[in-house]
Amino acid sequence: MSRAKDLHALQARLPTLSGPAPERDLTDSSLYLNRELSQLKFNVRVLDQALDERTPLLERLKFLLIFSRNMDEFFEIRVAGLKRQIAFDHEIAGPDGMGPRRVLEQISATAHRHIERQYAILNERILPELDAHGIRIVRRERWTPRQAHWLRHHFRHEVAPLVTPIGLDPTHPFPLLVNKSLNFIVQLKGIDAFGRDSGLAIVPAPRVLPRLIRLPDEVCVDGDNHVLLSSVIHAQVAELFPGMEVLGCYQFRLTRNADLAIDPEDVEDLALALRGELYSRRFGDAVRLEVSDKCPADVVGFLLGRFGLTHADLYEVNGPVNLARLFSLAIGLARPSLQFPAFTASLPRALKKSPNLFQAIARQGLLLLHPYESFAPVVDLLRQAAKDADVLTIKQTLYRSGAHSEIVDALVEAARAGKEVTVVVELRARFDEESNLELAARLQKAGATVVYGVVGVKTHAKLLLVQRREGNRLVRYAHMGTGNYHTGNARLYTDYSLLTSDRALCEDVHKLFIQLTGMGKLRPMKKLLHAPFTLKRTLLRLIAEETARAAAGEAARIILKVNALTDAKIIRALYRASMAGVGIDLIVRGMCCLRPGVPGYSENIRVRSVIGRFLEHSRVYWFANGGEEIVYLSSADLMERNLDRRIEVAFPIEIKRHRQRIREHLELYLGDNANASLLQSSGDYVRLAPADGQEACSAQERMLEQLGVAGAA
């Protein structure tokens, strides 16, 4: 009997072989973790990195600030979405059975606890340690007379001319404040020149000004000394209200719903509609209010009432309300002893011998792991294609790249050189919409054909196809990746790239581009899996095949590495596999709705999250397949939106040494006891640490040792 028939027979016998497992209710809500709360716990794990003494000090500050950015987006999107469900009386419970009201209650309790902890870490740990290294944010009460004089001059000449104070009275209604902008509410006493006495005013901080001001060395004793813009405005606010008495000045920040609400089917021009919606994003519904913890209760109550918020939405903080603006301090200083050691991304041996990428790719497919290995070959492929007279066409998808990136520069050069350049730009890449509109316009001006993908379905696949005339035939070269075409992200995110001239794979990529730019029925693919058509179906089949092997007493194993796992069908399939005896290792950076270690259901499933110097971003699907391993790399996380409502791809790794290499990388993650946390059946994560006498193992550090080149970047 053939292996395929063997598997079919095993699957048919699965209910008998696996005993009572199929009768168990895999839709039981207790088997699922809430996705929003899981995402929040990922943010907390990021914050925990700020306490890791093994991490250099400025990098610990970065983790603390990344937590702020993550929380901003969490409120702008996830919390806003839950509030919208309640407002429109359209409350939906997920597989975990929790409705939005209950989820919001738990979010509020967890977020309040950890945001308070964040400021305690900043004030009690990070800032004192920075001070010990001569890096200071000087508080108002510690300004010397010379510093106060310099800052008063700076305020009068650089800040005050740009500030527009707004008194609150019937002719000056409460201003419409921009999302996440820094503002002050000022209590006043006295009568102004027009006889007005409102008692309150709003001072929006100019968004064009840096939030951190470096004090000149001549007014300081030593070190790098900085002052917050909020401190400067607070100290000099009385100058904005001459003749009035300032009774109090308190900073606050409002977070708004920033999710775009565009129905592509209701617009004729998506780009035009998106431009209008981007403006609206700045003034969406309020979802969170951050205020100074010194703000009086009556003023807080006034602000909450003005924005339609409750005390559950209030965050009183001991420090600046816009912490993410301190990134200029974390990344602007050159202090090697307080930062991660520099490294240079390496190049594969094949490219060192042959600078001609077409020849190198034709000889053998190239597998790269960024940022340990350079992203330059991907950019160079485009550059060489732009200059090569034999290259006829270039096709590429762009999700996040930046309007003025090297990638876009090369595409512009190619279009101007007369190549047929087609670019599928996903305008709706969250928080990159404006940049994508700009790059689309730039490409169109250069003569490239720009399309925006498929109505109602985001194009998230990472694909590049070059067609080149070689002799009397057309030869195709493709790049497929797990990450975006963003050279900056390629230095910070871990992602795989495959450069190949495999005919079948390149033909599949060509078919997908035809599908994206044109219209027509689905074309069958030989090797590529793509959502929303074959990817999910194939993953479920591969999981079922491992399940059948385990049920028949064969060795079976699955390793999945993704950013998120929320799809209920995939989770149920993994539960069935676990019940049949499949050993399952899940490396899930962020959200995970699967509950591991539940007796009778998921005892064979282990879930770990790895957070380190680089953002884990690669997606890998690995199946033991009876000793003939199957490996796919993908742009898709295991989420409903990725598998059902996006254009995604998964591409097979067919060269044995490449599969072996990926397996070695996965085993490094599974052996990480330095930056990994294990998900418990309770939904909590436990940070791993080396046992007594055990060597510490960081997967990222090991790969830096193996692949990176130490030294100045």
CATH architecture of the domain with range 343-526? 2-Layer Sandwich (3.30)
Q: Is the pLDDT of residue 11 over 70?
A: no
Mean model confidence pLDDT for the chain: 90
The tens digit of pLDDT for each residue in 316-325 reads: 999 999 898 8
Going by pLDDT thresholds of 50, 70 and 90, the confidence category of residue 713 is very low
Instruction: Examine the residue annotation and report whether 157 is marked as an active-site residue of this protein.
Output: no
Domain boundaries, the chain: 38-338, 343-526, 530-705
Q: What does the pLDDT read at residue 261?
A: 55
The domains spanning 343-526 and 530-705 adopt the same CATH topology: yes
Q: What does the pLDDT read at residue 266?
A: 46
Rounded (10°) angle between helices 535-551 and 568-580: 10
Going by pLDDT thresholds of 50, 70 and 90, the confidence category of residue 433 is low
The tokens describing 568, both together, are 């209920």
Q: What does the pLDDT read at residue 708?
A: 67
Q: What does the pLDDT read at residue 352?
A: 77
In Å, how far are 249, 637, 653 from 619, measured between CA atoms? Answer: 49, 7, 13
Going by pLDDT thresholds of 50, 70 and 90, the confidence category of residue 637 is very high
Q: Is the pLDDT of residue 267 over 80?
A: no
Q: Is the pLDDT of residue 262 over 70?
A: no
Beta strands in 456-610 (DSSP E): 458-459, 463-470, 473-481, 493-500, 529-531, 557-562, 583-588, 605-610
The tens digit of pLDDT for each residue in 489-532 reads: 899 999 999 999 999 999 999 999 999 988 778 789 999 999 99
The secondary structure of residue 312, as a DSSP letter, is G
Q: Is the peptide bond before 371 cis (omega within 30 degrees of 0)?
A: yes
Q: What does the pLDDT read at residue 337?
A: 94
Q: Which residue has the higher pLDDT, 217 or 89?
A: 217
Beta pairing partners, 627 = none
Q: What does the pLDDT read at residue 199?
A: 87
Contact 64, 122 (CB under 8 A): yes
Which alpha helices (H) appear in 489-633, and where do they start and end?
503-517, 535-551, 568-580
Residues 7, 9, 10, CA angle at the centre, nearest 5°? 65
Contact 636, 460 (CB under 8 A): yes
Going by pLDDT thresholds of 50, 70 and 90, the confidence category of residue 430 is low
Going by pLDDT thresholds of 50, 70 and 90, the confidence category of residue 349 is confident
Span 394-407, average pLDDT: 85
Amino acid at 397: T
Instruction: State the pTM of this model.
Output: 0.91
Residues 46, 484, 373, CA angle at the centre, nearest 5°? 80
The tens digit of pLDDT for each residue in 215-246 reads: 999 999 899 999 999 999 999 999 999 989 99
How far is the C-alpha of 629 from the C-alpha of 632, rounded, in Å? 10
Q: Is the pLDDT of residue 212 over 60?
A: yes
Q: What does the pLDDT read at residue 37?
A: 97
The tens digit of pLDDT for each residue in 179-205 reads: 999 999 999 998 876 677 778 999 999
Q: What does the pLDDT read at residue 428?
A: 66
Residues 583, 589, 592, CA angle at the centre, nearest 5°? 65
Q: Is the pLDDT of residue 291 over 70?
A: yes
114, 226, 370, 460: the active-site residue: 460
CATH architecture of the domain with range 530-705? 2-Layer Sandwich (3.30)
Amino acid at 16: T
How far is the C-alpha of 383 from the C-alpha of 414, rounded, in Å? 8
Q: What percent of the chain has pLDDT over 70?
A: 91
Considering the four listed CATH numbers 3.40.50.300, 3.50.50.60, 2.60.40.10, 3.30.1840.10, the one that applies to the domain covering 38-338 is: 3.30.1840.10
Q: Which residue has the higher pLDDT, 444 or 660?
A: 660
The tens digit of pLDDT for each residue in 660-686 reads: 999 999 999 999 999 999 999 999 999
Span 405-410, average pLDDT: 91
Q: What does the pLDDT read at residue 23?
A: 61
**DSSP string spanning 98-164?**
--HHHHHHHHHHHHHHHHHHHHHHIIIIIHHHHHHTTEEE--GGG--HHHHHHHHHHIIIIIGGG--
**Residue 547: phi, psi to the nearest 5?**
-60, -45
The tokens describing 260, both together, are 């775009």
Span 53-70, average pLDDT: 96
Among the listed ranges 126-140, 196-210, 699-713, which one has the minimum average pLDDT value?
699-713
